[in-house]
Chains A and B, each alone.
Chain A
Amino acid sequence: MKPIFNYIDRPSPIHALTGATKLCCLLLWSFAAMLTFDTRFVIALAVLSFVLLRLSMIRLSDVSFLLKLTIFFMLFNNLVLFLFSPQYGVEIYGTKHVLFGSGRFTLTQEQLFYHLNQMLKCFAMVPVVLLFVCTTQPSEFAASLNRIGVKYTVAYSVALALRYIPDIQREYHEISQAQQARGIEMSKKESLVRRLKSASAILIPLILSSMDRIEIISNAMELRGFGKNKKRSWYMARPFRAADWLSMVFCALLLAAAIILNIHNGTRFWNPFL
């Protein structure tokens, strides 16, 4: 089975950072990118995120499928946005420079600029998530959650989820094939209610057997004294180095810059039309 989280092991400076650092940076970066619509800042973020992707030795061909998906989804989303409210840009920027057309679907410069902003924001966010997923080992991810202040029982739940996803996926596949051999139909040929009922015929054995699994695992953990102490150590945890602190400070500065820009501009948008 193909691994689901797309971790790619390469000797790069980004891989050398601890999982906790990368998670922290991802959160700070996402908030910075979410907060502001200042085009200049978003362009800087987008360029920087591709530089980082380069630095991590992740080749575009490694993630080409996901990038294609991104572009497709982005274009589709912008089409829907335009169809829903073609004058939204005019509403935001307060001016109206008509390019061509008339009536509801008049194309304006403001609307195009709004779409440009939306697309740039997509490119400011997606590469960083890709970077995180491709350079962080899943089991280190759980350890890093505990590091940034999440309770260790919750972090352990995440670790358990990551551990059991492949098992459950395999079991789903087996049950599904067994039920299909008995004539269960989930495709478009059946009515919706019947489709859902046949899905249940696969899901019920899968989920009920998982309930037994919960009992077995929790008994095993209880016997080993899980949850007795306030803290626990992690096999995959690594100590912070200078590079870790530097990157966290850098991302915190990005977030601060986004907030300051918003206050300075008085709005979340940068308006070139005034």
Chain B
Amino acid sequence: MKKSPIVTVVAIGIGAALFFVLGRFVIIPSPVPNTNISAQYGLLAFMAALFGPLAGLLIGLIGHALIDFSWGGSFGGIWWSWVIASAVCGLIMGIGMKKISLTDGVFGKKDVLRFNLSQIVAHIICWGGIAPALDVLIYHEPTEKLVAQGLMAGVANIVTTAIIGTLLCTAYAAARPKKGSLKEEN
């Protein structure tokens, strides 16, 4: 189905608002003390699968930047490195999930596999690579610390995306009318 560019603009806006609310107010305690699970990456993967890479990029960028602004930068300013990593994460997910056609109500086993492979690759590139690399440049902190931080976030994000993202896609596809589900009657 061809989407109008206006749908993408609105999807980015609402997607970023959802990303913000999930990231800022939805608190799911994790086994590691003082760390919460960020449910927003499951949403990001779902939106990227549904609306494409550009939407993924901008939802990650705007949503994450707004979260940092709403804390008044109290965690050491705006963490541009992580904001950029979120954005690239949405972009890579969108590219990897291009073949998934959720709007037609299809989300089979192959799509589940494709969805999860893309999200794992995206998270590894962003939290294992881009975020620590930019952090080294910007904050000049020891590389081991930054990589450890990135990996911790990355693994948590992969798990939440796998569970919440897959459930979301399944629920959405089930609610859509299937392609060719209407038959002409005589």
Contacts and interface: CB of A to CB of B under 8 A. Distances in A.
Chain B residues touching A, majority SS? helix
Given A156-B9, A157-B9, A221-B6, A203 B43 contact: yes
Contacts of B16: 157-158, 161
Q: How large is the interface on B (under 10, 10 to 19, 20 to 34, 35 or more residues)?
A: 35 or more
A73 B71 CA distance: 12
Contacts of A204: 167-168, 171
A24 interface: no
Given A125-B76, A160-B14, A200 B164 contact: yes
Interface string B139-173: 11110110010000000000110011001100110
A165 B20 contact: yes
B76 A169 contact: no
Contact of A192 (B24, B30, B42, B72): B30
B133 interface: no
A126 B142 CA distance: 22
Interface stretch (A63-71, A102-110, A247-255, A258-266): A63-71
B172 to A, nearest CB: 6
Interface in A66-108: 66-67, 69-70, 73-74, 77, 80-81, 84-85, 88, 92
A100 B74 CA distance: 33
Given A157-B58, A160-B10, A197-B163, A208 B175 contact: yes
Interface stretch (A13-21, A212-220, A229-237, A238-246): A212-220
Contacts of A126: 72-74, 76-77
Q: Which of B21, B148, B164, B167 has the most CB of A within 10 A?
A: B21
B14 A161 contact: yes
A129 B5 contact: no
Contacts of B160: 196
Given A157-B58, A157-B62, A195-B29, A81 B141 contact: yes
Contact of A80 (B21, B145, B159): B145
Contacts of A214: 7, 10-11, 14
A168 B28 CA distance: 18
B7 to A, nearest CB: 5
A133 interface: yes
Contacts of B73: 125-126, 128-130, 133
Given A161-B17, A196-B163, A207-B18, A129 B72 contact: yes
Interface in B26-44: 26, 28-31, 37, 39, 42-43
Given A125-B73, A211-B172, A199 B63 contact: no
A231 to B, nearest CB: 15
B144 A226 contact: no
Chain A to chain B: the 5 pairs with minimum beta-carbon distance, closest first: A160-B13, A129-B73, A125-B77, A161-B16, A157-B12
Given A158-B62, A160-B14, A161-B16, 19 more contacts: A4-B24, A37-B140, A66-B72, A69-B74, A69-B75, A85-B142, A129-B72, A133-B73, A157-B58, A160-B12, A168-B17, A168-B21, A172-B26, A195-B29, A196-B28, A197-B163, A203-B26, A203-B42, A203-B164
